[in-house]
Amino acid sequence: MSLSEITARIAKACDAAGRDAASVRLIAVSKVQPPERVRAVLDEGHRIFGENRVQEAASKWPGFREAYEGVELHIIGPLQSNKVRQAMELSQAIHSVDRPKIAETIARIADETGACPQLFLQVNTGEEPQKAGVLPAEADAFVARCRALSLPVAGLMCIPPVEEEASLHFALLAKIAARNGLEGLSMGMSGDFEKAISFGATHVRVGSAIFGQRETI
C-alpha cells in the first residue's frame, strides 16, 4: 500500500458516502517508524502525522519541522499528566483526552500559555477495562466539563474493540457527537477507515497501510 493508494481509497469512500473528500483528514501514524520512511511520506507532500508517545514525537518532529513547512502533528496515544505540557507544545491536536484530570491539566497550562491544541475526547465505546477513555454514559458530562473549562473541544475519538464490529462503535460515537453539537470524529484506522468514513469520520488514523509494518523498539 502507499500514500497515493490510501488517498484514492479515502476519495472513493467519500464519494460512496456522498461526502466531499476534503472533509476527511488523513493522519499518517508514524509511531515507531524509521526516519527514512517518514521522510519519504513528507517528500510526497503529506503534512499531517500522528504519534502515540510524546517522547518519540519530541525526538522526531522538531527536526522534520525545520526541514518541511506546514507539518501538523497530532498526539493520538494515551497521555500522562507529566507529559501534557510537552504534548501541547509539540502538537496541533490531541486525540486522547480521556479523563477529567487530563482535561484540568490542559486547561491550567492553556491559561498559563494562552495557547491550546485542538482536543478530541476519547470515548471507550467498548467499555473495555484495559482501554482509556470515558464510558459512553459519561461522555455528555465530560464534554460539558471540558467546555466549562473553556477547552477547544473539536470532537470525539474512539478505538473499537478488535473482536467486535467496528460499525457499531462508529455509529455510537457519531450519535454522542451529534447530540453534543460536535463535528469532529476521529475514528477509523488502516483496517476500517472506509467504514468509519461512511459513519462520518473527519479524521482517520492510518499507519501500517502507508508506512508498512511498524518496527519494534
C-alpha 174/C-alpha 157 separation (Å) is 10
* Residue 186 φ/ψ, nearest 5 degrees: -95, 100
List, in sequence order, the alpha helices (H) in the chain: 3-16, 35-43, 54-67, 84-90, 100-113, 136-148, 166-179, 193-198, 208-211
Q: What is the grid cell recorded at 30?
A: 508514524
pLDDT digits (tens, 9 = 90+) for 7-30: 999 999 999 999 999 999 999 999
Give the pLDDT score at 24. Answer: 98
Domain ranges of the chain: 3-207
CATH T-level assignment (fold) for domain 3-207 = TIM Barrel (3.20.20)
Q: What is the grid cell recorded at 167?
A: 460499525
C-alpha 212/C-alpha 128 separation (Å) is 28
**Per the confidence metrics, is the pTM higher than 0.85?**
yes
pLDDT digits (tens, 9 = 90+) for 67-108: 999 999 999 999 999 999 999 999 999 999 999 999 999 999
Give the pLDDT score at 1. Answer: 63
For residues 75 and 87, is the Cβ–Cβ distance under 8 A? yes
pLDDT digits (tens, 9 = 90+) for 139-188: 999 999 999 999 999 999 999 999 999 999 999 999 999 999 999 999 99
Q: Which helix (H) or strand (E) holds 198?
A: helix 193-198
**Residue percentage of the chain with pLDDT more than 90:** 94
C-alpha 207/C-alpha 185 separation (Å) is 18
212 band by pLDDT with thresholds 50, 70 and 90: confident
The answer to whether residue 46 scores a pLDDT higher than 60 is yes
Q: Scanning the structure block, which residue is given the C-alpha cell 497501510?
A: 209
pLDDT digits (tens, 9 = 90+) for 114-135: 999 999 999 999 999 999 999 9
Give the pLDDT score at 213. Answer: 73
